Structure 1
Amino acid sequence: MKLAVAIAVLMLVFAAHTEAQEEEQTIEQRFATFQTQVKELTQDLAEKTKAALESIHQSDFATQSRSWFTEQFEKVKQKVEETFPKAS
């Protein structure tokens, strides 16, 4: 009788183990899931980076710096034109 109970218990354990293995993802499914996660991560990172760069570009410091460099370039350009006038 003990042998029959032991065999029945082993069969139940084997059945439960087999069902648990069927629920596990295959390696292909794991790679597909990983690929999706990486894609979402990179898209999120790209959006955040783009937003940060746009914020920096629109900041007061960046705007004032561009204006200052433009003014300095125009001053140098005028000095060069005054110093070396074009011969017509």
Structure 2
Amino acid sequence: MRLYLAVAVLMLALVAYTDAQDESVEQKFQRFGEQFSEMGQTLAEKAKTTFQDLHNSEFAVSSRNWFTEQFEKVKSKLTEGAQ
């Protein structure tokens, strides 16, 4: 009698476990899509932050200022030469 009871309990546990683990293909694809979307958003945020850090770095700011100064010098020389 104990053996039948143990087998029945094991079968119920197995059925409950497989029902809990069973996801439909649609649910798996939906979960995959959500994870992929979340990963894309995270990657986009990191790329944006990195670009902003690079754009605001001391090297980038000093380079832009130097190019602006050089452009203004050339522009002033050209306007002086045209007069």
* Deviation >3 Å, runs of 4+: 15-19
- Paired with 1:31 and 1:55, the residues of 2 have a C-alpha distance of 36
Q: For the residues of structure 2 that align with 1:57 and 1:19, how far apart are their CA atoms?
A: 53
| TM-score normalised by structure 2 residue count | 0.77
Instruction: Give the TM-score, by structure 1 length.
Output: 0.73
Gaps of 5+ in 1: none
Unmatched tracts of structure 2, length 5 or more? none
Of all paired residues, the percent bearing the same amino acid is 44
Give the corresponding residue for 1:57.
55
CA distance in 2, matches of 1:52, 1:44: 12
Out of 6, 16, 22, the position equivalent to 1:24 is 22
Query: Aligned-pair distance for 1:53?
Result: 0.5
Q: What number of residue pairs does the alignment pair up? A: 75
Q: Which has the larger radius of gyration?
A: 1
Cα RMSD of the aligned pairs, angstroms, is: 2.2
Structure richer in helix, relative to its length: 2
